[in-house]
Amino acid sequence: MKKLMSIGVAVEAYAKVNFTLEVLGKREDGYHDLRSLVVPVSLSDTITLTKAEKTGIEITAENPIIDLSKMGAPEKNLAVRAAELMREVGGIKESVHIKIQKRIPLGGGMGGGSADAAAVINGLNELWSLGLEKQKLAELGAQIGSDVPALVLGGAVMMEGRGERVRPFDCGGSRIEKGGKRYWLVLVNPGVFSSTPQIFKSLKHIQENRLEILSNMRLALSKGNEELVAKALQNDLSDAAFDAYPEVASAAKALKDAGALGVLMSGSGASVFGLVRNYEHGQEVQAKLKDFQWSVIAQTCEI
Ligand code: C5P
């Protein structure tokens, strides 16, 4: 986080992918119980928060795939709602102007809107010297959206419940010896806007608890082995999204055909990612994705 004199802060809001996403059950409140390993990636929106008399938001995007007309009303924007919540909790009189330079595709399952809200929560905690602990900030984030707590916490996170239960992910002792590893990914967005409620609603059946999904991923990550991680990738929402949006299935197939070690949809889509060996392998894979307007090579945080 960069301090801008005493008048503001600039925060990078990192996108995420889900290395595993299991749907464990449907809840009374209409949400689903999940278990997911959420991993931030090196693609970010830049958020600048400056003191203001009135809350305001200004969003810019250089990439035409980010269609700002799909952003919805400013008062519904997750970043604005997060700012209002922080103002209320902190008993702050002044307002804040939020500037967002967007690079994370909208409706893409990479947590763009949630990452912005999380950055606002962390940024205002700093700007207004509120001194709230991460777990408290994550709790506040849950009031804004299910993906927000994990992104408030940052780093690789084990997310459970609706998304409100979050803790740093630990894949075992050997990770500490190795100092964590960063994985290379090719992210692809097929240019469709995936509706999270629709994907959850169209889930045909909920599978039985499969403990091996997380244990396989844990083992793969503790060994730091890309091939094993590629095999352990799992997202229970993929089939529903592939049915709803054939473009998502095509993007996944294209990544596989281009030679990615493993391919998975992120969150509820529409973005998919391919795990690759290294940056050069990422370049080779990306060069074969001519049909897609948007693809980037990115790295995960240390796991
Ligand atoms: O919490 P958020 O607003 O991001 O959720 C959007 C929608 O996604 C919810 O209204 C719900 O339909 C669905 N959802 C769910 N279970 C979750 C998270 C989201 O059913 N754990």
pLDDT digits (tens, 9 = 90+) for 148-166: 999 999 999 999 999 999 9
165-168 and 157-161 beta bridge pairing: antiparallel
Please confirm, yes or no, whether 147 is among the known catalytic residues. yes
Pocket of ligand 1 (CB under 6 A): 31-32, 34, 145-147, 162-163, 196-197, 200
* Residue-wise pLDDT tens digits, 185-205: 999 999 999 999 999 999 988
**Which residues have a Cβ under 8 Å from the Cβ of 243 and sit 6 or more positions away?**
202
With CA atoms as reference, report the closest residue to 19 among 209, 274, 297. 274
Residue 110 Cα to ligand 1 midpoint, Å, equals 14
Distance CA 300, CA 303 (A): 8
Q: For 52-92, give the DSSP string.
A: ESS-EEEEE-SSTTS-GGGS--GGG-HHHHHHHHHHHHHT-
Of all protein residues, the one whose alpha carbon is nearest to atom 3 of ligand 1 is 145
Write the pLDDT tens digit of every residue in 44-71.
999 999 999 888 899 999 888 888 988 8
- Using alpha carbons, select from 205, 156, 219, 138 the residue that is nearest to residue 19: 156
Query: Relative to the CA of 26, which ligand 1 atom is closest?
Result: 20
What atom of ligand 1 comes closest to residue 197's alpha carbon?
12
Q: Over the Cα atoms of the chain, what is R_g?
A: 19
Residue 173 scores a pLDDT above 80: no
User: Which of ligand 1's atoms lies nearest the C-alpha of 34?
Assistant: 21
Query: Using CA atoms, how far apart are residues 265 and 285, in angstroms rounded to an integer?
Result: 17
Which of 16, 45, 102, 116 is catalytic? The answer is 16
